[in-house]
Amino acid sequence: MPQIEMYTTQICPYCVRAKDLLKRKGFSPVEYRVDEDDARRAEMLERSGGRRTVPQIFINGHHVGGCDDLHALDAKGELDRMLHDDSSRSAAPA
């Protein structure tokens, strides 16, 4: 089972879209609300290379990016590979 982490805020349509895509794939991310936790926001900034927008999504520790990045991976067929392949921990695209 992949570890999926998503930094979100309460009111974020892109977060909802990303969660819906993952739900259709049969997965639920661990969600970190950055609007309620300054330490989590700082963690997100560090892990994402300074990206400030939400969602910021990580699969098996690899930074996938935001909602559009997640959907682009799905369109290329790469998201399914990442979700079902243990080697995605080191082979996922940047």
pLDDT digits (tens, 9 = 90+) for 50-61: 999 999 999 999
How far apart are alpha carbons 21 and 94 in whole angstroms?
Answer: 20
Beta strands in 1-94 (DSSP E): 4-8, 30-33, 56-59, 62-65
Pick the closest to residue 5 from 26, 32, 25, 42 (CA basis): 32
Confidence of residue 87 (pLDDT cuts 50, 70, 90): low
Q: Using alpha carbons, select from 49, 40, 39, 36 the residue that is nearest to residue 6.
A: 40
Q: Which fold has domain 4-91?
A: Glutaredoxin (3.40.30)
Q: Assess whether pLDDT exceeds 50 at residue 88.
A: no
